[in-house]
């Protein structure tokens, strides 16, 4: 009542509003104290995947019915509401496993990199986690964690960090806080103070040297770079470059390598492994990357530029896009939304990104 009078007074007679607001202060403080006390424990909030529009409508309808019904019918209505809220995300995961194959989604996280892979056995792998250097928002908490929850992921088999720059690293602590992470692979570099602070919230890293690999459910993640003797390279050129192979299909995750890193790959022992069906365009499509020799060695069907909308760098550079297109690639951009692919081990195709979070679409989806 006092708060309502204070609101009215602030509009009609501001001088009168001040003492009324002071009377409200103890109650407001008490309300905040109670709220903070009950919100502090980790169990005070339970995160679930989005139920989707149909699940939300069913949940509300069942709650309304439970409110009006009595006895066993009320319990049934409450149970239906709970199932409508909790079941959609696990259902999506089960449907993706039934479909089989490898699902690769280049997430839209602003100006940064984050790629989620769902393996044939249902396990999840993440390559980079996005990040925002100025700390204005956390793409890990805002974009990556919700996508994983919506996909029904409950744990992550492996996280790969290409290099410890903010737009690849700073989203990962939120991911590690939300899900158990079994393995964490890096290029061996620790970065600056901000990177060290982020590493403190992640599992102990394992350096993946060229030729070493992690394999699960028929999908191999093989490191191609950086080679020994690259200690003087920039953080970008020393990115962990991964070849992700699923049968005859290959994805090339190139981090932020530029001319020096590309030259070492095209002129080194792993040059034959650069050929890929899908490539993540190096360094977001900067003009200092995607040299002619590298593009010719990869020759992909699809090239994905991980960029933020209207980014201040002007990525991807016009000449870089033209170079990949001239090599026969269909260039796609994450500032237009997530980019999703499906592989059956023999061929790869682009699939609607929205289908991964739509149980009905997943039920109809075939490789």
pLDDT higher than 80, residue 8: no
Rounded to the nearest integer, the mean pLDDT of the chain is 92
- Size of the chain, expressed as the number of residues it contains: 367
Question: How many separate helices (H) and strands (E) can be counted in the chain?
Answer: 14, 15
Which helix (H) or strand (E) element contains residue 278? strand 278-280
Q: What is the pTM of this model?
A: 0.89
Answer whether CATH 3.40.630.10 is correct for domain 102-364.
no
24 — pLDDT class (breaks 50, 70, 90): low
Distance CA 141, CA 147 (A): 10
Contact 225, 201 (CB under 8 A): no
Distance CA 138, CA 124 (A): 21
- Residue-level pLDDT at 13: 57
Distance CA 43, CA 349 (A): 41
pLDDT tens-place string over residues 55-72: 999 999 999 999 999 989
Distances in whole angstroms, Cα of residue 339 to Cα of each of 104, 116, 261, 334 = 8, 10, 25, 6
pLDDT higher than 60, residue 306: yes
Distance CA 173, CA 184 (A): 12
pLDDT tens-place string over residues 202-234: 999 999 999 999 999 999 999 999 999 999 999
């Amino acid at each position: 009542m006092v708060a309502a009078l204070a609101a009215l007074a602030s509009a009609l007679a501001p001088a009168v509003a001040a003492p009324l607001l002071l009377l409200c202060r103890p109650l407001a403080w008490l309300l905040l104290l109670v709220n903070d006390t009950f919100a502090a424990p980790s169990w005070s909030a339970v995160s679930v995947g989005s139920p989707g529009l149909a699940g939300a409508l069913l949940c509300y309808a069942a709650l309304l019915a439970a409110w009006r019904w009595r006895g066993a019918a009320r319990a049934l209505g409450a149970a239906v509401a709970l199932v409508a809220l909790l079941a959609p995300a696990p259902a999506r995961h089960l449907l993706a496993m039934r479909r089989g194959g490898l699902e690769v989604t280049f997430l839209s996280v602003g100006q940064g990199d984050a790629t989620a892979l769902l393996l044939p056995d249902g396990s999840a792998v993440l390559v980079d986690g996005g990040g925002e250097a100025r700390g204005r928002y956390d793409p890990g908490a805002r974009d990556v964690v919700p996508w994983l929850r919506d996909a029904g992921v409950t744990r992550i088999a492996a996280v790969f960090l290409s290099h410890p720059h903010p737009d690849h690293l700073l989203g990962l602590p939120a991911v590690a806080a939300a899900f158990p992470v079994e393995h964490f692979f890096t290029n061996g570099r620790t970065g600056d103070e901000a990177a060290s602070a982020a590493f403190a919230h992640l599992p102990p890293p394992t350096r993946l040297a060229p030729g070493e690999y992690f394999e699960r459910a028929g999908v191999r993640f093989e490191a191609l770079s950086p080679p020994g003797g690259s200690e003087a390279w920039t953080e970008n050129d020393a990115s962990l470059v991964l070849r992700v192979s699923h049968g005859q299909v290959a994805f090339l995750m190139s981090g932020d390598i530029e001319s020096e890193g590309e030259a070492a790959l095209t002129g080194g022992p792993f040059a034959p492994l650069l050929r890929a069906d899908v490539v993540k365009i190096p360094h977001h499509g900067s003009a200092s990357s995607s040299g002619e020799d590298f593009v010719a060695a990869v020759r992909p069907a699809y090239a994905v530029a991980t960029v933020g909308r209207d980014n201040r760098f002007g990525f991807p550079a016009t000449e870089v896009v033209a170079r990949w297109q001239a090599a026969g690639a269909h260039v796609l951009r994450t500032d237009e939304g997530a980019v999703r692919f499906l592989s059956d081990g023999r061929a790869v195709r682009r699939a609607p990104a929205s289908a991964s979070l739509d149980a009905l679409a997943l039920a109809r989806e075939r490789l």
